[in-house]
Amino acid sequence: MFENKTKVLLMLTQDVLDRARVLAGKATAALKLPVSLQIVLRALVEVGLKQEDRPVLLANIEGQAKAVRLQRSAGSGRGRQRPRK
């Protein structure tokens, strides 16, 4: 199933992580199989990518892209210069 795999660092809010854990627990109970958080996140990414033309998904992507831009522009002045000795 995972012949060509790549590792990814994913940063999520605690709320999103908690909701994914709840989904993993519900899936474990319903399927009577162990379902890990990783399995749930992979499934959510795959399903989300199949729905790429949905306005809600695009709005979420836009909101996250704007948040990243805002964070980067706010932090652009910090950390670039070293203090003098």
Regarding pTM above 0.85, the answer is no
Check residue 70 and give its pLDDT: 93
Number of helices and strands in the chain (H, E): 3, 0
> Tell me: the pLDDT tens digits for 4-60?
888 889 999 999 999 999 999 999 999 999 999 999 999 999 998 998 888 988 898
For residue 33, the 8-state DSSP code is S
State yes or no: pLDDT of 2 exceeds 80.
Answer: no
Check residue 52 and give its pLDDT: 80
Radius of gyration of the chain (CA): 18
**36 with 17: CB under 8 angstroms?**
no
The span from the CA of 40 to the CA of 56, in Å, is 20
- Residue 26 tokens read as 């519900």
Neighbours of 28 (CB within 10 A): 15
